A and B are shown apart, each in its own frame.
Chain A
């Protein structure tokens, strides 16, 4: 089954200084196909350009395109109604839950480095840490 990459895995692939970069890159290159979404790409850009890391917009876009332009890459639209998200108790879970539902709707697994997310009941069977 193909994977939808969340922002943490996308960052691990695009930043050589990320602690998991070697593993993430090897994993990505071993995939017959992988998927990104506007959500994960929209997360990659502001984190890369944030005061903590200070990438230029142009450089961040080059690094992102070096992932999304691979022959095995595809992108899914954020086309799942928000109403499909399960009932949540934490506002911080909304985007993650949406990404889980987006992956589910497209027959994908959500690949993430967030082990806490992987243990959420609503993410069971969809979110997994592939590294």
Chain B
């Protein structure tokens, strides 16, 4: 199936299905980008910062929003 055919099919999807596609595309684009030369910001992973005396994680630049759909997509690949 060509890219144009896939794009044409997208118009038939519900909002929830489009959100799943969106989350998957984010992940695929990031995985694809990782095989090319990353920018300085992209090369850096998540880091810890301190907030109110507690350490929490902060996402690297360009990371996709941590939505329910993104989390489901990632966990779907988890054995």
Which residues from chain A sit less than 8 Å from chain B, CB to CB?
Answer: 7-8, 11-12, 14-19, 21, 25, 43, 46-48, 50-56, 59-60, 62-63, 66, 92, 95, 113-116
Known: A52-B63, A54-B46. A15 touches B56 (CB 8 A): yes
Q: Is the CB of A60 within 8 A of B57?
A: yes
B68 interface neighbour in A8, A14, A48, A66, Cβ under 8 Å: A8
Task: Across the interface, name the chain A residue whose C-beta is closest to B68.
Answer: A114
Looking at the complex, which one of A12, A14, A53, A115 makes contact with B45 (CB distance below 8 Å)? Answer: A53
| Closest 10 A/B residue pairs (Cβ) | A54-B45, A55-B46, A17-B59, A16-B56, A63-B57, A50-B74, A66-B54, A15-B57, A114-B68, A46-B78
Interface, chain B (partner A; CB < 8 A): 16, 26-27, 30-31, 34, 45-49, 51-52, 54-60, 63-68, 70-72, 74-76, 78
